[in-house]
Amino acid sequence: MKVNFVLISLLALTLTACAGKPEQPDTSSTQTAQTAYQQAKDVLDKGLYNRAIELLMAVESRYPFGPLARQVQLDLIYAYYQAGDLPKALAGIDRFIRLNPNHPELDYVYYMRGLTNLKADENALHDVLGIDRADRDLASTRQAFDDFKLLVSSFPNSKYSAEAKNRMLSIKDSLARHELLIADYYMRRGAYLAAANRGKYIVEYYRDSALVEQALEVMIESYDKLGLRKLKDDTYQVLKLNYPQNNKF
């Protein structure tokens, strides 16, 4: 009986000690997620974008609600953009904005949306060959302009704002060139009023573009063809006032 009593006492002490020991947080899951993410990030930093996408998607799938979830989503947006998978990049961007309207890096996400929409209108083959493709549909370029404009207006102090402003100026020139090509198409087919309206659109909406001078020339020539003398003279005065060195007319 004495031996049994000792054993029972020892068992009771052991149970008491276990019950009194504070629980330690399980950090294995967090550490595993961090390790997996770091591996994906290292691959991403090396420029292996398709492989990085695979690894990042694996991390996102296994740890969808962890502390790294938002960063993984941001890295996936960048990886898709660099890999040229623009539809998935845009889908990821729109999803991130919808689910994280107050995220501190939302300015970056809008910047990436602008870049992605801009890239959607690019054609590597034509760029290499030096072919001007301003006659193509520029719906994505117009959307990129709106993306950068939203970034600048909503996040004026963002580190991406200056670059966004420069992108907007470049886009304006592309859009103005697009309008000029259409105006030239109308001129060659005798649709002078339509050509004049294209030139007028450039003057009104892209006034800081370097192509405004050519737009005024189109307007003058169109009004002359239409016999609209006053409009022609008024536009000529605007041309000479702003571009005194112009000697086309």
Question: Residue 119: is its pLDDT beyond 80?
Answer: yes
222: tokens are: 């169109």
CB 199 within 8 A of CB 236: no
The Cα 152–Cα 155 span in angstroms is 5
pLDDT of res. 134 = 53
Lowest-confidence region among 96-105, 131-140, 165-174: 131-140
What fold does the segment set 34-96 form as a domain? 1.25.40
Nearest to 115 by CA among 77, 72, 156: 77
123: tokens are: 């054609």
* Domain residue ranges of the chain, discontinuous segments joined by +: 34-96
Q: Residue range 86-103: average pLDDT?
A: 96
pLDDT of res. 25 = 41
Q: What is the pTM of this model?
A: 0.76
Torsion sign over Cα 57, 62, 65, 66: negative
Q: Residue range 67-95: average pLDDT?
A: 96
**Widest pairwise Cα distance in the chain:** 125
